[in-house]
Copies of this chain bind each other. A is one copy, B any other.
Amino acid sequence: MAASAGPEIERLISLLAKLPGLGPRSARRAALALLKRRDQLLAPLSEALADAAARVKTCSVCGSLDTRDPCAICADPGRDGSLICVVEEVGALWAMERAGAFRGRYHVLGGLLSALDGVGPDALRIGRLVGRVANEGVREVILALPATVDGQTTAHYLAERLAGTGVSVTMLARGVPVGGELDWLDDGTIAQALRARRPA
């Protein structure tokens, strides 16, 4: 590709190209930006990555990522331990935290059940969720899973697995997103929002 640039830069480009959102062309641009801003960008990013590689681990309770185990949320006594929000991945957990509306704890599945990709219950952190529900005095499990086929399959499966434990299993409401124009919404969302309509 950039044979003239030497193997070090080529290797950097090919690694950057593996990041989601960066293709071969933008990886080259990113590598150049890094090499041009060596002190402000390249060196700090190199350190931040080494730091993350050395210190960030998976929380043994909920599956989130943090430098401590249990993670800051699991260890926070101010969090309501009787509420568990189940998410697919840590990215969804961060999104919930940014929304700032949830004060319970989390459980990160590490993926979704998928017949197509051959992901069964054993590949996910489901057994540990059932264990937490049994042992931690959980009152409600909120399924914050994506509104996709795999997300809904996983939600149904979890609802069945937790049936009979006495815990209440709920899921996020479906409807028109804030700022959403009806014109731009898909029919499925409009139909769900209509079925779930409430007094104004």
Contacts and interface: CB of A to CB of B under 8 A. Distances in A.
Contact of A50 (B35, B46, B55): B46
Given A18-B41, A45-B49, A48-B15, A89 B4 contact: no
Contact of A21 (B2, B18, B30, B68): B30
B45 A16 contact: yes
Nearest to A110: B36
Number of copies: 2
A34 B8 contact: no
Given A4-B73, A6-B72, A65-B5, A42 B52 contact: yes
Interface stretch (A91-99, A171-179, A187-195): A91-99
Interface residues of A, number: 56
A124 to B, nearest CB: 14
A20 B30 contact: yes
B46 A94 contact: no
Contacts of A28: 91, 94
28 contacts: A1-B94, A5-B94, A6-B66, A8-B51, A8-B52, A8-B55, A8-B67, A11-B51, A12-B45, A12-B49, A12-B51, A16-B19, A16-B45, A18-B33, A18-B41, A19-B22, A19-B33, A19-B34, A19-B41, A20-B33, A22-B22, A28-B91, A32-B91, A35-B56, A35-B65, A42-B49, A49-B49, A50-B50
